[in-house]
Amino acid sequence: MEKNDPLYSAFCAHDPRFDGRFFVGVSSTMIYCRPVCRARLPQRKNCTFFSTAAQAEQAGYRPCLLCRPELAPGSSRTDAASSLARRAARLMEENCGSGDNLAQLAESLGCSDRHLRRVFEGEYHVSPVQYLQTCRLLLAKSLLTDTSLHITDVAMASGFQSLRRFNHVFKEKYGLAPTDLRKHMSREKRERSNVVVSLGYRPPYLWEEMISFLARRAIPGVETVREGTYCRTLSLQTAKGAPARGWLAVSNDPRRNVLNVTLSEALLPVLPQVLGRIKNMFDLYCSPEAVGEVLSAMNELGEGLFVKGVRLPGCVDPFEMSVRAILGQQITVKAASTLAGRLVEELGERLDTPVEGLTHTFPAPQRVVELGDSAIQRLGELGVIRGRAEAILALARAIDSGELTFDQCRDPEEEMEKLRRIKGIGGWTASYIAMRTMAWPDAFLETDAGIRHALPGRTPRELLALSEGWRPWRSYAAMSLWNWLEKKENEV
């Protein structure tokens, strides 16, 4: 990133809109900071600007202990000129503990490792290997600062294959031993019994609207919302295929512009995966300013239709979310949650948690596939009509076989087309699934009853034409309309 006065001006103003978009290396201290850092402002001649934390570290700078670059939000998928490089970066953040090499990463992205390296270095000015190492180091720094985990557990959770290697790389890059960071930990953090990790976002963030949306659609036994905190169970697999089942809770700290993620130690072996999915679920890559520049025009149609800070609710389990979407076809939100709760009680695995109401993990697609055609009868006994039961079984088989892959490395349009080929999944359901599972920002549900209610007097064709002016943020437009409608209903 070039040195220029606009960036220094943003740094002087501590402008949160630029948080995560660039980092500032200070040559007098050899420390790099976020634009929002509140430390004493360095002189312009001592500042060098970098696109990423990895680029700053490669230049020899160490992360600031005050503003903590590991808490900086990432970039949304529409920000970058090279979507391939951005998708690779997301994958590395989520899987930095898996031990996958560059060739495996490139294969999952459908390109050669040589092409990926060339594109990645052109976008980020560091190699994929260097970026991955920074992901691991910053995750380790966060765990050392915010948790009382043993150093060995920190090293393993961050993707280092040995404690010796971790100690060596950490000291080489940051100029201090991992144990030295513990001196900055408060007594409160030392006495925590659970693991708590903070994830940054760009304000504003309409947290109450997000929590309300999730609470209305919570699956009994799997999810619950209590006093503004979202809680759930989760079942994942480690890189070696071992199960990791536990619970987590997510709360908002608006003073620091972070979400605090509390999780059970059973999820530590898959910590990068968990944090990656939480970032997706709570849309932490979003840039409210970029969305607002386009969607503020919605308020010309009606007062308050768009409020800056709207987020796109994602998910942590694509199969769970997709099944929930199928169950919700042509019935109320409450009725769909009831059906999903019955399915969980019948096919899910029990899990002991300290959180009241969290009793099961959602069944994996393999569990449904194993039932074969009898799954249709089992689901029917729970009150699921035959057409939707058949669609759920077909969906489970497609995911289990790898035909469907709901991750952000895939083309949403292609995955939606595959979904529409499943009998019982129409355009609305396919678009909604892409919106929630793949963080697809440009889906629009012109046939949705809520959207038609919020913008009355227009046909679906007219709504679709109207939404063209809201690209590439039409998913956020849909969320804004749903939020507005819920607010109006609550006022009645």
Task: Please report the sign of the dihedral spanned by the C-alpha atoms of residue 182, residue 184, residue 188, residue 189.
Answer: negative
Phi, psi of 25 (to 5 degrees): -90, 130
CA 73/CA 279 separation, integer angstroms: 9
- Amino acid at position 82, single letter: S
Longest dimension (CA), the chain: 72
Task: Return the HEC string of 52-75.
Answer: CHHHHHHCCCEECCCCCHHHCCCC
CA 160/CA 104 separation, integer angstroms: 18
CA 384/CA 371 separation, integer angstroms: 16
3-state DSSP call for residue 245? strand
* Whether 400 is catalytic: no
Upper half-sphere CA count for residue 27 (Cβ side, 13 Å): 7
CA 279/CA 277 separation, integer angstroms: 5
Gyration radius of the chain over CA positions? 23
3-state DSSP call for residue 198? strand
Looking at the DSSP bridge assignments, the partners of residue 22 are 19
Catalytic residue among 146, 283, 317, 448: 448
* Whether 448 is catalytic: yes
Upper half-sphere CA count for residue 164 (Cβ side, 13 Å): 0
385: which 2 tokens? 């009509």
Q: Where are the alpha helices (DSSP H) in 262-409?
A: 271-281, 288-295, 318-327, 333-347, 365-371, 374-381, 386-401
Beta strands at 62-63 and 195-200: parallel, antiparallel or unpaired: unpaired
Catalytic residue among 33, 96, 231, 315: 33
- How many Cβ atoms from other residues are within 10 Å of residue 352's Cβ? 7
CA 414/CA 361 separation, integer angstroms: 29
Nearest to 484 by CA among 291, 233, 206, 170: 206
Looking at the DSSP bridge assignments, the partners of residue 261 are 197, 250
CA 434/CA 181 separation, integer angstroms: 41
CA 196/CA 274 separation, integer angstroms: 12
Peptide bond into 472 cis (omega under 30): yes
- Amino acid at position 21, single letter: R
166: which 2 tokens? 């971790």
The secondary structure element, H or E, covering residue 8 is helix 5-13
CA 446/CA 461 separation, integer angstroms: 7
Q: Looking at the annotation, which residues are catalytic?
A: 33, 448
